[in-house]
Structure 1
């Protein structure tokens, strides 16, 4: 239980940090968030929800140190290079800085969000290997730490460029191949469970997911929600040849690293409310899916 303890959340105005802040508040924790602009609309919304919003920046170690004063735990997540705002080296530097300050400040529990494709051996993609470097550094520190490895977000399914506007869906897997997916809203619930039981989860590395579906199952669920037929096909060879980044991601799915290997039985104990794809499409994902049906575009991550 939280017992009135406080958690500093990084990235609280984004997807992962926002999910974590909301879940911690619901569980009764005191939540502090480090933001670059306390007057921004998302920061104001956090404050109105009961979050202690403080100004700071990954490049400002003093602001990180000040934000950690008096907190019992830290949720650490950094921006990644596919977003186009930072380099892989920036991400490593930021992740190590947060972990180092947490250890120096005597924080009781650090939870670091890595990536589902991260392993001890390199993946060949910088934004996964950067997270592996942060993980390795955290394991050297004198701090109780838990590493989570989120699989691919369900939210990626409604990005432009997968063909939904044309009545089809093109993705990484073969029609009969399964991939694990994660609803962003579930991230916070897993993290809240981890903070609630430090003795159980300290030292653990946990892959987190919400559901597993094949390409054919994606088409069936999408068709049901859309009210019309949505066909499925894996990315064509011409598409993969024209986009090296997409091709590398697809190869990692085939190798199993991006297909996901989360233990659903263990995760269900942590979060009995974990969302299936169908439940996500009926809830928080519905509006974005309906918009994607009528929105053309290109694959957004091409670096």
Structure 2
């Protein structure tokens, strides 16, 4: 495997970074697509032996250069934005096309649990649940299936544990600055949780044994917790009290939760990720429980006074 190059996109982010962590030291050569090689995150990758290629998903020439010679590709794209609703599918297509033209053997793509099931969601026909998000996720998945890679895998993680720590927690859960887990989820709603590190470990396993994972779409969640249980774990890890507050949508927005996140939390109550936890934990890759993850990340958990 020392001659096999894995191109990792999103390498300075949570999932791509976790994939780099899992791949380094395994014998693969790791290459990262970065926008600015001089940025601190990119420089840190280079210091660890990662080969940097400057490029952009919308720059086909730089994508082709980054994919050239790669044996495998880890694929992750940003969700669409109100100003560019086609961005995720477009950039996903550009990466897939570059990988196919380069003769990539193994393509591992990360999506989200339940992508492809969105038309079954309650009130889908009424336009709820940010259709552009779900259609983009399932659209890229379709492109991966149809691309003709010798081996491909689609990982479908549920809610990322990393959303509870900085920098994401500041806007995902602004109430933590007041010592409160304030959401528009009902008290008995359980949220399926997965650590980014485990997504990276699954990706590395797929590259190490592509025949085993070939053509599989794998839902990922380690466990399912209520917000009260989440608050208890964060409190234990940080040593500071955290309370869980279930709020109506309007009240959550008034408390500083962004409207899109409020709708996502309401979706978690009405629909949810519905990951089969036994199956997710049955691949021979031990998934990290939230309490263990939080204990490792305690220095990045920021809790204010209630």
Paired with 1:166 and 1:295, the residues of 2 have a C-alpha distance of 5
Could you tell me whether the CA contact under 8 Å between 2:186 and 2:269 is conserved in 1?
A: no
Aligned to 1:225: 237
- Is structure 2 residue 212 aligned with structure 1 residue 200? yes
- How many residue pairs align between the two structures? 288
Aligned to 2:138: 132
Paired with 2:19 and 2:252, the residues of 1 have a C-alpha distance of 34
Could you tell me whether the CA contact under 8 Å between 2:195 and 2:293 is conserved in 1?
A: yes
Match of residue 146, structure 1, among 120, 141, 153: 153
- Is structure 2 residue 179 aligned with structure 1 residue 167? yes
Q: Structure 2: which 5+ residue stretches go unaligned? A: none
RMSD across aligned positions (CA) = 2.4
Encode CA deviations 1:252-273: one digit per residue, 9 max, x unaligned.
Answer: 21233x334144454453422x
Encode CA deviations 1:45-103: one digit per residue, 9 max, x unaligned.
Answer: 11111111111111111111121121111011112236x8x733111100011112212
- Is structure 2 residue 286 aligned with structure 1 residue 287? no
Encode CA deviations 1:112-168: one digit per residue, 9 max, x unaligned.
Answer: 111224124446422232111111122222112111112111122241344223332
Q: How far 1:25 moved relative to its partner?
A: 0.8
Paired with 2:278 and 2:236, the residues of 1 have a C-alpha distance of 25
- Is structure 2 residue 124 aligned with structure 1 residue 109? no
Could you tell me whether the CA contact under 8 Å between 2:184 and 2:265 is conserved in 1?
A: yes
Match of residue 251, structure 1, among 240, 263, 266: 266
TM-score of the aligned structures, taking structure 2 as reference length = 0.85
Match of residue 276, structure 1, among 289, 292, 296: 289
Change (3 A) 1:14 1:241: closer
Paired with 1:268 and 1:20, the residues of 2 have a C-alpha distance of 20
SS of 1:72's equivalent in the other structure is strand
Could you tell me whether the CA contact under 8 Å between 2:179 and 2:304 is conserved in 1?
A: no
Report matched runs for 1:1-80 at 5 Å: 2=1, 4-80=3-79
